[in-house]
Amino acid sequence: MTALKHFNNGFAYLEIENRQAKAKIALQGAHIFEYTKEGEASLLWLSQKSLFENNKAIRGGIPVCFPWFGKNDKGKDLPQHGFARTMIWDVVLQEDLDECTTHIVLRLESNAATKKMWNYDFHVELDFLIGKQLQVSMHIKNCSTIPFDVTTALHTYFKISNINKVLLDGLSHNQYYDALTKKRGTHQDSTGFSQEVDRIYYAVPNKIYLQDEMRKVEIESFGAHSLVVWNPWIEKSKHMRDMTPDGYKTMLCLETANAGDDIVTIHPNQSHKIGAIYRIV
């Protein structure tokens, strides 16, 4: 069952429920901000101070970064992580495949507002399969007559029990770029974090695992060659309007991405697909 609902301020979202899971997807940004598998705690972290307001990004869930990841150096007024996460998307499909699986598709197309920031014709779809596992994929089509470059991400916030005690499995000896130190390094297996982290890992395997005290999550990616690992830690959290001071303790972002040096060129009438399957194992 899928229903269109609104918060008191008119902010619109889809509420999905089937025999295996519940989910909520905002029309702004095609942003899934809740996924709860039957018998489990919520997979996705959501800030207690998250803003559900027009033109304001939601802090938590899975924000969509498109058509660029991070800052765009071509203009200081261009939005962080692109414009897709604060625009209203159209619902083009909602169907129950069976009692346990719901399929949702939202679409964003180029328009006058997007062309002021990024002068290309495109359409992009977010495809959700909600059931005993969560699958999210982004399909980008170049509708222009010339190629364009994109960097993208599914900026996934995972709910965890303790940032000091999580283990990332599958990144052994992967190279990364550290955005805080501006240096490159090689990952060493370690349990937990003790400070702010902001890294882009390259040539990552298609499966990695997040081991927490309360569960283990498998993240299977496709169309992505990089992974962003991010936690703002204490000082940065204090200065974030939509973050509680201790919010960093129960979240970790593991972002399926084409980011940093991992730039994707899409030619006219061609497409690129990036996505992830999240399984509690």
By annotation, the residues acting in catalysis are: 155, 255
Q: Are 268 and 148 in contact (CB under 8 A)?
A: no
- For residue 145, which of 121, 118, 125 has the smallest C-alpha distance? 121
* Tokens found for residue 70: 């991070």
Amino acid symbol at 42: S
Closest CA to 259 of 216, 217, 220, 230: 230
- The whole-angstrom separation of Cα 50 and Cα 80 is 17
The vertex-208 CA angle with 206 and 211, nearest 5°, equals 165
DSSP 250: G
Is residue 65 within 8 A of residue 29, CB to CB? The reply is: no
How far, in Å, CA of 95 to CA of 105, rounded? 9
Distance of CA 171 to the CA centre of its chain: 19
Residues 6+ apart with CB under 8 A from 268: 142, 143, 144, 145, 146, 147
